[in-house]
Amino acid sequence: MKEKREKLVKKVGCMIEGYTSSKNNLPEGMKMVDAIERLGVGYHFQEEISRFMAVLNATPAPATENVDMAMAALRFRLLRQHQHNASCDIFESFVDSNGDFKETLRRDVDALLNLYEAAHLGYCEEDLLKSAVVFTTGCLTAFPPPAPPPAMAGTGQLPRHTVEKVDHALTSPTMRRMKRLEAKLYISIYENDEDSNHDILELAKLDFHILQQMHRDEARSFSLWYKELNAGSTLGPYIRVRPVECYFWALCVFYEPRYANARMMFAKLIKIFSFFDDTFDSYGTLEELHLFNQAVQRWDEDGAKQIGGCFGYVMSLLSKTLDEFVAEGASPLGIDCTKKSIKEVSRCMLQEVIWREEGQAPLLHDHLKFSTVSTFYWALACISFVDPMDANDDVGVFGWTMSSPKIIENSATMARLMDDISGHETEKDRSGIPDTVECYMKEHGVRVQVAKKALWCLVEEQWRSMNHEFVSNTVIPVALLQRVINLARLMETTYKTGHGYTVCSGITEPISNVLDTCVFH
């Protein structure tokens, strides 16, 4: 299978190079690159795709009168996905004198789908793309129309493969999807597309199967590591036992074979962070947590042990694991930054417990100053950058990471808001700590559903801010910025329709798709 995959990699690579060198038929090249990336095999062709995107970016967009909406939207999306600052002005030619999208677009499903996907790459100030999301969502949700357009006359409905594309897009746009899950789900959609390329499809199936075997082995190894910890006997029933979920989170951030070691480090730290979180939320008294926080600030294992109970175990396990990462080749500077981030998490978690004990629900803005940090997202960003395979400028990368960059703040804010929106009822019973939903309700005097709707709007703004931060950041390697975005995609996958960690039954299907069910070929 691997030998056959390698032959197909060479063949598909030559196809991409053909579109790049000839500069002819760039629309077909765009569709090929989009399919390759959505099918999860783009990591085989990073250089070839980079060269193609450079040619695409250097090629002027079509004149306004010759614009094909579907291709214009695909070009825009691909360019922004690859950190090129494409202008959204191209879409103004599809707006009428009233500022509304032209009615003729309602009959063009391909154009609607591409505009819908492209619009989710918009920035905060790009109102036209915000309108495009509303317009395309409304049109796509209405299909099949009561009176089908001429192209569909006699059927009364869209072709099956088109319906699958529409349902897939409306569930979550490509930009926000976990890449491994997208690959699995998109294989069947692409297979039913009359324009699919057999070689690309076969490569995607082989690659998914090969990687799935590797990921299964890693999930098994990680579960054995967790079993050997025997944490339950020390920490008791208050901890959440989620080894497979923790590995799945790591798989969200990076799935490529070369990052096997990084995945295991990330998964281990996620699990230990869960112990840390549960200790603050569900175990320690306020007095004990004050002492524990002091021990964390000093990074003092003995001080944590003197508190008694589970505190020494959590602190020692955390310290020991980080030391092991350095021994395995992780960046020492990155591990130091991770420790600094954990100290900030401890400080902020203590403040949240103080709010609970004092019966406070602070203003939303004040809450987010602490609760975005307590998501551990800064620490997770740090640990995702420490793998020696990256060969980064450690001083520059970790100096930037610890400067509270906007893109990490966006990702952390999304994590906090989506966690609270989906888990408001569950977490209120479990920890009693006031969340952003409760703070918004109190501050604005509104009910739960109104508060949740308002916070979802804030989530959308974070996505748009993140889009801009990604395109405008030319200092940090794209691969690292993508991991920060993947942390946000993780929340989209696990928290959009339920509280995917505490009530983990909600992510059984995504985990099964990635680690259990096979692709057929």
Q: What is the pLDDT of residues 18-33, one digit of tens each?
A: 999 988 889 999 999 9
Determine, yes or no, domain membership for 209: no
Q: Indicate the burial class of 190 (C-beta count within 10 angstroms; 0-12, 13-18, 19 or more).
A: buried
Same domain, 190 and 256: no
Q: What is the pLDDT of residue 415?
A: 94
Q: What is the pLDDT of residue 427?
A: 61
CB atoms within 10 A of CB 82: 19
Distance CA 163, CA 442 (A): 42
Determine, yes or no, domain membership for 413: yes
Determine, yes or no, domain membership for 197: yes
CATH number at residue 271: 1.10.600.10
Same domain, 62 and 173: yes
Would you say the C-alpha torsion 402, 242, 260, 14 has a positive or negative sign? negative
Q: Indicate the burial class of 395 (C-beta count within 10 angstroms; 0-12, 13-18, 19 or more).
A: exposed
Same domain, 164 and 242: no
420: left (phi over 0), alpha (psi -120 to 50) or beta: alpha
Q: What is the pLDDT of residue 154?
A: 38
Same domain, 318 and 375: yes
Q: Are 403 and 340 in contact (CB under 8 A)?
A: no
Same domain, 124 and 238: no
The tokens describing 376, both together, are: 């551990």
The size of the chain, in residues, is: 521
Q: Which residues pair with 95 in a beta bridge?
A: 101
Determine, yes or no, domain membership for 43: yes
Q: What is the pLDDT of residue 145?
A: 44
Nearest C-alpha neighbor of 466 from the set 385, 384, 392, 405: 405
CATH number at residue 183: 1.50.10.130
Determine, yes or no, domain membership for 521: no
Total count of domains within the chain: 2
Distance CA 372, CA 417 (A): 9
Task: Extract the residue ranges of the chain whose pLDDT is less than 50.
Answer: 145-156
Same domain, 388 and 503: yes
Vertex 492 angle, CA 232 and 130, to 5°? 160
Same domain, 377 and 503: yes
What is the number of alpha carbons within 13 Å of residue 237 lying toward its C-beta? 1
Determine, yes or no, domain membership for 196: yes
Determine, yes or no, domain membership for 210: no
> Which positions ≥6 away from 22 have C-beta within 8 Å?
none
Determine, yes or no, domain membership for 225: no
The tokens describing 380, both together, are: 């997770």
Q: Are 386 and 335 in contact (CB under 8 A)?
A: yes
State which H helix or E strand residue 10 sits in: helix 2-22
Same domain, 181 and 321: no
Q: Are 483 and 385 in contact (CB under 8 A)?
A: yes
User: pTM, whole model, 2 decimals?
Assistant: 0.92
> Which positions ≥6 away from 71 have C-beta within 8 Å?
27, 30, 62, 114
Q: Which residues pair with 101 in a beta bridge?
A: 95
Burial 459-490 (b: 16+ CB within 10 A, else e): beebbbbbbbbbbebeebbebbbbbbbbbbbb
Q: What is the pLDDT of residue 325?
A: 96
Q: Phi and psi (nearest 5°) for 96? A: -85, -175
Q: What is the pLDDT of residue 408?
A: 97
The tokens describing 341, both together, are: 């981030």
Residue 301: give the domain boundaries.
230-516
Same domain, 178 and 245: no
Same domain, 234 and 110: no
Q: Indicate the burial class of 230 (C-beta count within 10 angstroms; 0-12, 13-18, 19 or more).
A: exposed
Q: Indicate the burial class of 203 (C-beta count within 10 angstroms; 0-12, 13-18, 19 or more).
A: buried
Q: Which residue has the tokens 């202008």?
A: 87
- Cα of first residue to Cα of last residue in the chain, in angstroms, is 12
Same domain, 49 and 136: yes
Q: Are 23 and 167 in contact (CB under 8 A)?
A: no
Chain centroid offset of residue 218 CA? 21
Q: What is the pLDDT of residue 452?
A: 95
The secondary structure of residue 61, as a DSSP letter, is P
Same domain, 377 and 452: yes
